[in-house]
Structure 1
Amino acid sequence: MPVGAITELPARYQALIGIWVVLIAGLILAVGYWVYRDAAFRESTNPLGWAIASVVGFQIVPVIYTLVRGRIGPRREPPSRFDRTLSAAAVGIAATFVIGALVTPPDPFSQVAFATPAVLVVIPAAYAYATYRDRTAGVN
């Protein structure tokens, strides 16, 4: 959709698009910050590099980091509530995009219509699972 076409949409759709642009940008930055904090707590040689790569390659680099972070080393301290929240947001957004790509038509309006309620369900579910997993493992 050309940028000029957005100005021809009704105001409520323009507002929805604006809200989603800000939300997605914020979530991408939150995932980058989570990768930075996790890499720093694992004493990675370059946590800032991981964070920048996660923001630039936001669809694949966080997944790669999650797969290789065990090789970096164990965390110096258990994850805090804030770390669990960032982790839940990262997992929730990734799951929402993957599921949305599989079950919706390939147009942005259908994907946004699916993602709005899915994010509101998946992120709290991911946080509850992370909290449950940490409690059963004996982590605060």
Structure 2
Amino acid sequence: MPLQLTPLVAVGVLCFLLVWIAIGAWVKFDAHARGSDHPGFWGVLAPVSGIVLAYYLLWWRRGRSRRYPPSRWERATAIAVVAGLGGLVVGSLVSAPDPASQLTVWPVAFVGCLPVAYWVVRRRFGASGSEYAGR
């Protein structure tokens, strides 16, 4: 059965694209803050390849401290990423197992996860300042 493009499914696809772009933007901002010579490389390849994203998060990023605190844009992209991934998990748990149902539930779950994502990002990028090499 082919996927029917209803307005709700189109909103789900746009939400998916937003989160996908936000992952690349957040990785680029973070790589730049950690002194990467090629943050655009990380920003383009991380959302395309889960292996590159896992390598960045688990290996490359771990060994380098930030040179400056996160900007407003970096926090906003991190909130979108956390809410998007949380919404994906919640949407897959409460919807039917077909793609159309998941794409219609995911935007609602994304919006529902935004306050939690804001809280998580706020706690993670807190004002302690102890992890920045420039201070």
Q: Which runs of 4+ in 1 moved over 4 A?
A: none
Gap runs ≥5 in structure 1: 7-12
Q: What's 1:15 paired with?
A: 7
CA distance in 2, matches of 1:106, 1:81: 36
Retained in 2: the 8 A contact 1:42–1:76?
yes
CA distance in 2, matches of 1:63, 1:91: 15
Residue 129, structure 1, aligned to residue 120, structure 2: yes
Retained in 1: the 8 A contact 2:45–2:52?
yes
Q: What's 1:96 paired with?
A: 87
TM-score when normalising by structure 1: 0.74
What is the aligned length? 129
Q: What's 1:109 paired with?
A: 100
**Counterpart selection for 1:82 from 70, 73, 79:** 73
Gap runs ≥5 in structure 2: 131-135
Residue 43, structure 1, aligned to residue 35, structure 2: yes
Q: Which has the higher contact order (CA 8 A, sep 6+)?
A: 2
**Counterpart selection for 2:56 from 36, 50, 65:** 65
Q: CA RMSD in A?
A: 2.5
**Counterpart selection for 1:54 from 35, 46, 53:** 46
CA distance in 1, matches of 2:84, 2:34: 23
Retained in 2: the 8 A contact 1:31–1:62?
no
